[in-house]
Structure 1
Amino acid sequence: MIGSRARTPVTWIRCSRRSSLIELSSRLPLRPACSPSTWGHSLKSGSPSIMADSFKLPLRPVIEKSDRPDSLPRDIAQINAQWGSFRELTEASLREKIEADKDKDPWAEEDEADQETADVDTSERMEQLYKRRAEIIQFAGEAHAEASFALDFVSLLLSKHNPRQAETTMSLFLKNAAPLGSLNSEVIDPPPRPDTALGDIKSVARGWRLQNFNNAASKLLNAGLRLNVEVDAETEYWGQVLAVKEKGWKVCRLPRDGQALGVQYGFLEATPLFRDRGLAALRRADDGKLVLDKGLVPRKTQGVRVRIKYQGRIIGCSKVCRPSQDVESTESRILQARDTLFEEELFYEIMREARVLGNQGVTTRQNLVKVPVSEEQEILLDLVDWDQDHASEEAASSNEQNALADAISHSIRILLTFAHRQNLRRRTEPPLPLAPKRRPVSEYQILRPVMAYLQHKSHIQWLESFIASLRRVLEAADIKCDFSATQFSSIGVLQPNHLFPKVESLVGVFLAPFESTFSGTLITPRSSFKVRIRTNPTVPPVGTFYDISVNLPQFPEVQPLNRVGLQGEVAQAVTHFVMLDLAAAISLQNPKNQGSPGKVSWEVAYPHHGELLARDTAGQSKKMKVSLSHEELNIQTYSLSRGEGFAKPVATKSALLSQTWKPGASGPQPSLVEFVAQASRP
């Protein structure tokens, strides 16, 4: 590309009066020596190469016509500058000028100017530039000096009346050369004014004074009216503020705005996150009404809802506090803000405590806390708006379960208030010694007492149900026994104390471990058992434990384990002790006292297996197997062969005697005494 361009002649043409060069392609048959008119004629003649390429290039700038024609004074000024006076301008001279321009080469002037420019040496041009630069700098310096002299003159003139302000604009030379106030100006012998002008000035001055007096009177009247409105508004505002204070609310100044008042509706013993939000500003509206700060007052009333879920179904739900009907009242809005803030803090503390109780099965979601009570029952706590109180369509609740949910709801609120009182007591006591590490703030005890109570109640219900089923089995065999349960009790005792209010002492009892006791008499005389259930809400070890104690005169060496934690182990131990007493009762039945000397006498051989042995006068051996559970009582008798001793029963149908007692069985059933008497026959 470069080589081909070097071999091809290139023609440069000066375009219009902008001194710009346009490079044309070598395919155009342009000649450097030809004149523009000849070149234009060749274009019109239609060269084959030009016609083939259809290449068009404008050589003159487009003349844009102005939208508005030049005014006549401007045209006259242009004619005077170009031709001189109108006396020297004639029609003949204009025609001669037009004819001369037709024969003149349009490129001649520009070529001459370019030739003159090209002839100037580079060194001379640089010298001219330096001279022009020096002249510009000199002119700028002179202008700056003249402006400085004028500024100093004005400053010195003003220093007579405003010396401090004029001194700041004076130059250092003027300050040293002339003192302040040494130049002044006065009007000397002003020209006299006619009487008509003086009369007009007086009339205008009188009119201005009257107008200013009218404006001042109007402003004073408007100010008076506005002052009356402000007085009425302030009176109404302060009356509402006093009404709020008389209701018992604390009114104080805002910490960051000393000119504004605020009402303290929050709790001072709450965590800092909610304590700082418990102060709302009492603003005054234009009409004097009291307005709470809208940035702190919640839009809707919120509350913690408690639901009881049993086997995947909601069976109980608590009630959420509803707003008052008088929404426009300041008192109702303050109460709404206080209740909502309290509910938000309650749910915050519940979520904070639930994260610590994860090892006890408590789970948290975005706005939900699940507290397990038993394998089939759990408690759900969430923060909802008041209009979502009964929005759950799946709730098939009962009055009893709703009462339980309401009781749990009231309990957690009482426990949060109790925690606030504990914070107040700690704050009023002497502080602890300083430590290098900051003492952590422990979680409030809100869920743990409730969980302990519900778990304790669940264990009591289970034990009552188990003992009732065991008693029904024994009653089916006509066995008399007495099982009783003491009332629910707590380790803590409510004692009068003048240092603590009675309400706090009552809550302290609720925070103590729970304990309940079950006792019962067995079949044999002086045989009894006792089961003590103890649940610790906060004191380690946390959870429910069973302490079982028995009194078996026939087996004095039998003693149960202490602190049993599993319900299955408790059920197994109680059943085993009743089975031991049942075997002892069978062995105590003496057939001689019944007038049947031929009957055998049973003896307990393996008490922990429920086996009894007997031998009649003919030397025939028998074995009785006692099996007891909370569902049935089964007794089987076997005849033992002489060759095998007591080890192996004879597997004959006539040698086996069995009886099973179940509660609610149809048909007549023999009693245990009758069955033993039948089994004792030879």
Structure 2
Amino acid sequence: MAESFKLPLRPIIEKRDRPDSLPRDIAQINAQWGSFRELSEAGLREKIEADKRKDQWAEEDEADTRAAELDDSDRKEQLYKRRAEIIQYALQAHMEASFALDFVSLLLSKHNPRQAETSMSPFLKTAAPLGSLNADVVNPPPRPDSALRDIKSVSRGWRLQSFNNAANKLLNAGSRLDTEVAAETGYWNEVLAVKEKGWKVCRLPREGQALGVQYGFLEATPIFRDRGLAALRRGEEGRLVLDKGLIPRKAQGVRVRVKCRDRIIGCSEVCRPAQDAETIESRILQARDTLFEEELFHEVMREARILGSQGVTTRQNLVCVPVSEEQEILLDLVDWDQDHASAGTAISSEHNALADAISHSIRILLTYAHRQNLRRRTQYPPPLAPKRRPVPEYQILRPIMAYLQHKSHIQWLETFIGDLRRVLESAGIGCDFKATDFSSIGVLPPSHVVSKVEALVGVFLAPFESTFSGTLTTPQSSFQVRIRTSPVVPPFGTFYDISAHLPQFPDVQPPSRIGLQEEVAEAVTHFVMLDIASSISLRNTQSRDASGGPGQQATGQLAWEVAYPHHGELLAVDSGGQSKKMKVNLSREELTVETYSLIRADGFPNPVAARSSTLLTQTWKPGSEPQPSLADFVTRASQASA
């Protein structure tokens, strides 16, 4: 690189051939020695020798001696005189400097009047107008040819040096400009590539000369919406740099785990960044996904705080959602490269699928909330109110809790009805049960207002319903159980609506909106027990013997009649007038039917039960050895009683 151009600021000092001119030397000799007539070589040599032998401190001692001889009054007078002389000299120098300044200012006022006016004295301003004095060179003395040749050579050298410096600067500027053009071209190509991918590129609000990319969601809460804009800076060699601001450097995601009895049995996959993390698109995607995950966990924490009455607990970075007495769902925000396996982990594919389903569901619900915000923003705004309207919590955990709770109740009811059916089948009783899971979720009707995804999510946010129906042993006897779970707070929870159709007992109806599983099990078991008692009483009712005793059939068997239906008790009277009793006990584990004789106590009109040696008992359990059916047991009990 060429040396930088240096401009001298001091004037060039011209060296004279002789130090002083001859007239000045003559004036100095006259002032020191007098006239030349009195000056001789011998006198000068004597003066030189006298100066050599003279003591240099003698004059000072003499002056000190004369000063000591003076009295105080003379010394003060002398000091005043010297002081007055110094002040006079200072004033004279000041006046001469002021005159010189006024002269120069008046001379410069011809060309720069405003600047020269600031240094002029008030007297000069009134005495002489500005620009009245000017200077010009008139008939300058001619210069010799040697001086002109030197000036020409120096001027030519300066011009050549200036040209060289200018050329070097232009070359450097050209190379620097080429580098800048290449860097700017690469920068704008990457910016255009980002825009062609569908990202919104705009100016930064606080930096008008900088560009930014909008990777966040405009319908998110303000705290996350403002963080969704990153600056597109130009790095080294025109490389595009994404200034993500408050976004963490590592990719983060919400992890969903399934916990059962203090052990992790399922874990969802945390979203991982792209393999090519060096591209600008992958960095933008990572920033968007991380911001979305942070907003998701923030909204989950907000909703979890209002679900404390439902058993949801929160910690610093963990949300625990109970599903059943033994199972719960854990949600936390972790880095993608964190070791997800922990102590006491027993991962299964089934529960991994459940965790992944919950993980996808919460993200879909947050996106649905963003669309609802957009829909509300595009509508007419509500009227102004003095109080600021609060921002409601998004429905993210509540639909999932409702779905899991509803599914848990469905599984419990299926298990209970299955156990009850196996008990009845072991006794030879035919029954049919039909389950319609999530009957509220049907075929979506076509709609031009909302998309299919929004319509599906809207159905998922509605109350869940499932129905269980069954036909019993007696003709036209049936029952139906409808399970309804509402995700809205309040009311939040699962309720059972049971309806039964028993022709023998038309007035028997269960209570509405049962909330406990134990009560539902008791009600269904009670209806089935009533139906079994009705089927026993209706057996062979068409073949009774009109001539026989009351309640006796033509074949000689007893005719059982339901006496206390809600206790499962049937009564019959044999030919000897002795009363017989049959009691039916039904549970999800077994069916027990026992018969025994009744005796009439003194003073009581109704017979009182008394166990005799002829007691018959039969118990049916699923998975036990083959036993006679209930019909065979009733036939044998009727014959034994006869």
Instruction: Name the TM-score class by shorter chain.
Output: 0.7 to 0.9
SS in 2 for 1:287: helix
Q: 1:567 aligns with which of 486, 499, 517?
A: 517
Distance in 2 between residues matched to 1:504 and 1:464, nearest whole Å? 31
Distance in 2 between residues matched to 1:170 and 1:663, nearest whole Å? 125
| Structure 1, 163-172 or 565-574: larger mean CA deviation | 163-172
Task: Tell me the equivalent position of 1:625.
Answer: 583
Q: Is the 8 A contact 1:155 1:170 kept in 2?
A: yes
Q: Is the 8 A contact 2:600 2:607 kept in 1?
A: no
SS in 2 for 1:427: helix
Amino acid in the other structure paired with 2:185: T
Task: Tell me the equivalent position of 1:424.
Answer: 374
SS in 2 for 1:440: coil
Distance in 1 between residues matched to 2:489 and 2:318, nearest whole Å? 27
Task: Tell me the equivalent position of 2:282.
Answer: 332
Q: Is the 8 A contact 1:319 1:389 kept in 2?
A: no
Task: Tell me the equivalent position of 1:607.
Answer: 565
**Offset from partner CA, 1:75-122 (integer Å, 9 cap, x none):** xxxxxxxx97356999xxxxxxxxxxxxxxxxxxxxxxxxxxxxxxxx
Q: Please say if 1:488 is aligned against 2:438.
A: yes
Q: Please say if 1:663 is aligned against 2:634.
A: no
Q: 1:466 aligns with which of 397, 408, 416?
A: 416
Q: 1:530 aligns with which of 473, 476, 480?
A: 480
Task: Tell me the equivalent position of 1:37.
Answer: none
Amino acid in the other structure paired with 2:243: D
**Offset from partner CA, 1:430-487 (integer Å, 9 cap, x none):** 2222222222221222222211111111111010001111111112222211111124
Change (3 A) 1:545 1:208: same
**Offset from partner CA, 1:337-378 (integer Å, 9 cap, x none):** 111111111111111111122222221111111111222221
Change (3 A) 1:428 1:84: farther
Q: Please say if 1:286 is aligned against 2:236.
A: yes
Q: What RMSD, in angstroms, separates the aligned Cα atoms of the two structures?
A: 3.3
Distance in 1 between residues matched to 2:554 and 2:530, nearest whole Å? 26
**Offset from partner CA, 1:639-667 (integer Å, 9 cap, x none):** 22232565543355x254333222222x4
Q: 1:440 aligns with which of 355, 371, 390?
A: 390
| Structure 1, 429-438 or 525-534: larger mean CA deviation | 429-438
Distance in 1 between residues matched to 2:387 and 2:253, nearest whole Å? 36
Change (3 A) 1:403 1:169: farther
Q: Is the 8 A contact 1:478 1:671 kept in 2?
A: yes
Change (3 A) 1:341 1:173: farther
Distance in 2 between residues matched to 1:295 and 1:193, nearest whole Å? 72
Change (3 A) 1:451 1:156: farther
Q: Please say if 1:679 is aligned against 2:640.
A: no
Q: Is the 8 A contact 2:410 2:437 kept in 1?
A: no
Q: Is the 8 A contact 1:492 1:513 kept in 2?
A: no
Change (3 A) 1:364 1:173: farther
Q: 2:211 aligns with which of 252, 256, 261?
A: 261
Counterparts of 1:35-434 in structure 2, within 5 Å, are 85-86=56-57, 153=102, 159-168=109-118, 179-181=129-131, 199-295=149-245, 298-388=248-338, 390-434=340-384
SS in 2 for 1:488: coil
Task: Tell me the equivalent position of 1:23.
Answer: none
Deviation at 1:200, TM superposition (A): 4.3
Q: Is the 8 A contact 2:600 2:608 kept in 1?
A: no
Change (3 A) 1:187 1:429: same
Task: Tell me the equivalent position of 1:110.
Answer: none
Amino acid in the other structure paired with 1:670: P
**Offset from partner CA, 1:263-317 (integer Å, 9 cap, x none):** 1111111111121221112122231221111535542221111111222222221
Deviation at 1:144, TM superposition (A): 13
Distance in 2 between residues matched to 1:495 and 1:171, nearest whole Å? 98
Amino acid in the other structure paired with 1:609: H
Q: 1:636 aligns with which of 572, 575, 594?
A: 594
Change (3 A) 1:189 1:481: same
Distance in 1 between residues matched to 2:180 and 2:363, nearest whole Å? 44
**Offset from partner CA, 1:556-588 (integer Å, 9 cap, x none):** 110111111111111111111111112222222
Change (3 A) 1:460 1:151: farther
SS in 1 for 2:237: coil
Distance in 1 between residues matched to 2:97 and 2:512, nearest whole Å? 108
Deviation at 1:521, TM superposition (A): 0.9
TM-score w.r.t. structure 2 length?
0.78
Amino acid in the other structure paired with 2:627: Q
Distance in 1 between residues matched to 2:55 and 2:221, nearest whole Å? 97
Change (3 A) 1:84 1:479: farther
SS in 2 for 1:489: coil
Amino acid in the other structure paired with 1:535: T
TM-score w.r.t. structure 1 length?
0.74
SS in 2 for 1:545: strand
SS in 1 for 2:155: helix
Deviation at 1:515, TM superposition (A): 0.9
Task: Tell me the equivalent position of 2:450.
Answer: 500
Task: Tell me the equivalent position of 1:585.
Answer: 535
Distance in 1 between residues matched to 2:384 and 2:144, nearest whole Å? 94
- Gap regions ≥5 residues in structure 2: 1-53, 62-79, 545-551
**Offset from partner CA, 1:472-509 (integer Å, 9 cap, x none):** 11122222111111242226762212122222222222
Deviation at 1:215, TM superposition (A): 0.5
Task: Tell me the equivalent position of 1:477.
Answer: 427
Change (3 A) 1:372 1:152: farther
Change (3 A) 1:274 1:634: same
Amino acid in the other structure paired with 2:431: C
Change (3 A) 1:206 1:424: same
Q: Is the 8 A contact 1:280 1:296 kept in 2?
A: no
Task: Tell me the equivalent position of 1:111.
Answer: none
Amino acid in the other structure paired with 1:662: K
Q: Is the 8 A contact 1:602 1:614 kept in 2?
A: yes
Q: Is the 8 A contact 1:605 1:613 kept in 2?
A: yes
Q: Is the 8 A contact 1:266 1:277 kept in 2?
A: yes
SS in 2 for 1:480: coil
Distance in 1 between residues matched to 2:93 and 2:362, nearest whole Å? 84
Distance in 2 between residues matched to 1:179 and 1:258, nearest whole Å? 52
Change (3 A) 1:142 1:415: farther
Change (3 A) 1:294 1:434: closer
Deviation at 1:169, TM superposition (A): 5.6
Deviation at 1:390, TM superposition (A): 3.5
Q: Please say if 1:541 is aligned against 2:499.
A: no
Q: Is the 8 A contact 2:533 2:565 kept in 1?
A: yes
Change (3 A) 1:517 1:187: same
Distance in 1 between residues matched to 2:621 and 2:560, nearest whole Å? 24
Distance in 1 between residues matched to 2:105 and 2:412, nearest whole Å? 104
**Offset from partner CA, 1:529-574 (integer Å, 9 cap, x none):** 0001111223753321111000011111101111111111111111
Change (3 A) 1:365 1:174: farther
**Offset from partner CA, 1:31-54 (integer Å, 9 cap, x none):** xxxxxxxxxxxxxxxxxxxxxxxx
Change (3 A) 1:177 1:468: farther
Amino acid in the other structure paired with 1:632: E
Amino acid in the other structure paired with 1:399: S
Amino acid in the other structure paired with 2:354: L
Q: Is the 8 A contact 1:491 1:513 kept in 2?
A: no
Q: 1:550 aligns with which of 483, 488, 500?
A: 500
Task: Tell me the equivalent position of 1:72.
Answer: none
Distance in 1 between residues matched to 2:421 and 2:494, nearest whole Å? 24
Q: Is the 8 A contact 2:579 2:607 kept in 1?
A: no
SS in 2 for 1:323: coil
Q: Percent identity?
A: 73
